[in-house]
Amino acid sequence: MADNTIYDTANQLERDLRGHADYRALREAYDAIEADEASKKLFDTFRETTQMLQMKQMSQETPTDEEIEGVQALSEEVMQDAKIQRLMESEQRVSQLINDINQIIMQPLNEIYQISETN
């Protein structure tokens, strides 16, 4: 029975996250970008470009100077878009919330390994 309870708790946590003010702010910020053609195009380009660079770095490829300059210029443009700024700030708050929850969830494992390290 305890096995089902933990999944019920996880599902409730998912519902609670969706109802949290920071998540709702993120959803609203994302929807605002989706409704603005210029912001959406800039955001999509920025996301695709940064993902491409991350993939290159993960495969041990070095980005070209041109690619780095392009991302820097794009980043400056993104910083000027209030809707994208709002989204990024909201993402940071939700990410921090999830990190905090993860630390709580991982506490039992951390305790096991701390005990093991001291013996």
Tell me the average pLDDT across 32-57: 95
User: What's the pTM value of the predicted model, to 2 decimals?
Assistant: 0.82
Q: What is the CATH number of domain 2-118?
A: 1.20.1500.10
Q: List the chain domain ranges.
A: 2-118
Residues of the chain above pLDDT 90, percent = 85
What element of type H or E holds 108?
A: helix 82-118
**How far is residue 89's CA from residue 71's CA, in Å, rounded to a whole number?**
19
Start-to-end CA span in the chain (Å): 34
Cβ–Cβ < 8 Å for 97, 20: yes
Is pLDDT above 70 for 63?
yes
Is pLDDT above 90 for 3?
no
pLDDT for residue 45: 96
Mean pLDDT computed over every residue of the chain? 93
Is pLDDT above 60 for 1?
no
